[in-house]
Structure 1
Amino acid sequence: MATENEKNDSSPAGPESSTPETDAAKAKAEDFLDQLAETGGEFTNENIDEFLEMQDPEFAQQLGDIKKDSELTVFDPEIDDDTAALHDEIARWRDAKGLKRTAYLILPFLPRVSLAVKKLKFRLFAFIQATKIRLKHFLYYLATAGRRKAQAKIMGAIKSAVSSVASVLADVKHLSLKLKLAFAGLILLLGASGAVLYLTWKGKLIPQESRLFLVNLAENADEVHEVDAHGTFENFYDNVRSTPNLLLIQKIVVNIRASKNSGPNPMMAGELFVEGLNPDVVIEVKDREAFFRDTIQRTTEDFTFDQLSSADGKQLLIQSLLKEINRNLTTGELRNVRIKTFILKP
């Protein structure tokens, strides 16, 4: 067994055995490297292939036999223009500085809105430009060939209408007298029908119904003036050009109701001005002064001392007096009741 192993180790066909051809190839490859180093050339892919060809031609041939598998292909993902534009818009908002970036972090949908606005703006601009171009071409067409074609069509239509009328008249000439009269009657009937329809539409044949009552004075006024409702106005009764219709009712003394802050028999004494809307009211109050004085006293008796001591109570008394006096007047109404003198006794 030892003899056989020694034979195998010394056999030239072993894995570490060499042949004169391989030794010559290695020597040639080393000479190639030395020559490349002496010339100072770069060690490129072509030099590597040449070196492998010199050193081990079999290995170089095996490398050359390696080819790409035709079934292994890499497909680039297809990205449409809208998606690419959205990615670019998001990148612009994300890489922005200041307020724009802060707004993007708070509202992430802003890039989509911004892109939609830009697309709408672009489409609107494109539509306007296209409309301008079409209008320009249309005007040019009308100024050149279009005008000539329109004139030719109009002249052709006129000639056709004239020829049609001439042919109808020629046919009418060959008709009998009865047919001619019937044709003329038909023409007159059509004309009369058109006139009746026109006059009816204008309201001349059948008059339109007029309104019985005057709704708006501006429709019949000679002049109409507009007034600003929010402007400054002068009161009709309190203007400086009119004389107030005032009457003084003197020495009104009346017992009023007792209250918490008064004694057992409180009293009120005073004088009042009554203002009428017209002089007739003042005359009536003066003529019936005794009656209205009694009305004032009876109305005042229902108030307490505490009520008449306050401003609201006095205002309530004036409203009550105005209501009671107006209820008994026959020639008009009072506009206001004013207090001249007002004395309270607790």
Structure 2
Amino acid sequence: MADTENTTKGEDTSSESAEDLEGSLSLDDLDSAIAQEDPEFAASLDGIGPDDPKHVIYEEGIELEYRPEDELKLWTESTGWRAKAIKIFPFLPRISYFIKMKRTVARFAWQKWKAKARESIKSAPKNFLAWIKAQLAAFKGKIGEGLGVFKTYSLVKKLGFVGLVLVTGAAIFLGYRIGTKGLIGPDENLFVGSLAEWSQGQYIYDPAAQQESFYESTRTSQNVLLLRKLVANLKRSANSGDNPMGAFEFYVEGTVSEVVIEIKDRESEIEDLFLRTIEETTFDQAASGEGKRLLCDRLRKEVNKVLTTGFVRRIFIKNAIIKP
């Protein structure tokens, strides 16, 4: 039994050794096997050899690497001011190398930042549009979730929620109203006590100083017109006879020149209006000074009713002849 086990173990060992040997032999004789099976492929493999020193593959890192030794070589081999300066200050190559490295790093960083900025600007509209779409989608999703939850509420809860929203809105409005204008606005005065509140400017003067009338100033045009003599019958009174009469000449002063022109154009109509007004005056009124003043005031009011441009400011009596 032992012999059988030994024999089996020996056979297994010998088989493993044979497999290893076969594998090593197959690797060693690979070139000959390839040459026998495919001579053309074997010939192409023979053409592959070590790198030609004259045709070295370019490596960017080697060419771009600038070492302190290169800077020192630049200063030592220079024939200009560098050669004189390095003799006095031998540490200048290290400083120069440090400055060049910092400048190179800064330049690369600036170019990198500029490229990123350019790319960011180009992609900004697309990114902003994508962000807007994402926000709208998220907002739409939240609204959908809220509506879904709201649908699950009972009728009482739905009415309570709507009432809460209305009460909250009313409270916000009242708070804003109270904070800005007050709940009840201030009382407004419907009557203007002084035009100073509405004026653009206020000027103070001394009432005791000499003043000039605005309407009677000699520096402004008077716009005065003398009407033709008017003869009219007067109403009888206690001091008059059976047929009292009066002859009058009036000065009419307008606010603007257009008033005088209109009265001149409509002189016949204005004279007829004056005559109808004078005929309503009694003899006693026409004979007294106060009556003449009241007559002029009545004439002014009647004329202003029919004028279309401006108005008459005053009416004066030039001559008045009263016959009892």
TM-score interval, normalised by the smaller of the two chains: 0.3 to 0.5
TM-score, structure 2 normalization? 0.38
TM-score, structure 1 normalization? 0.36
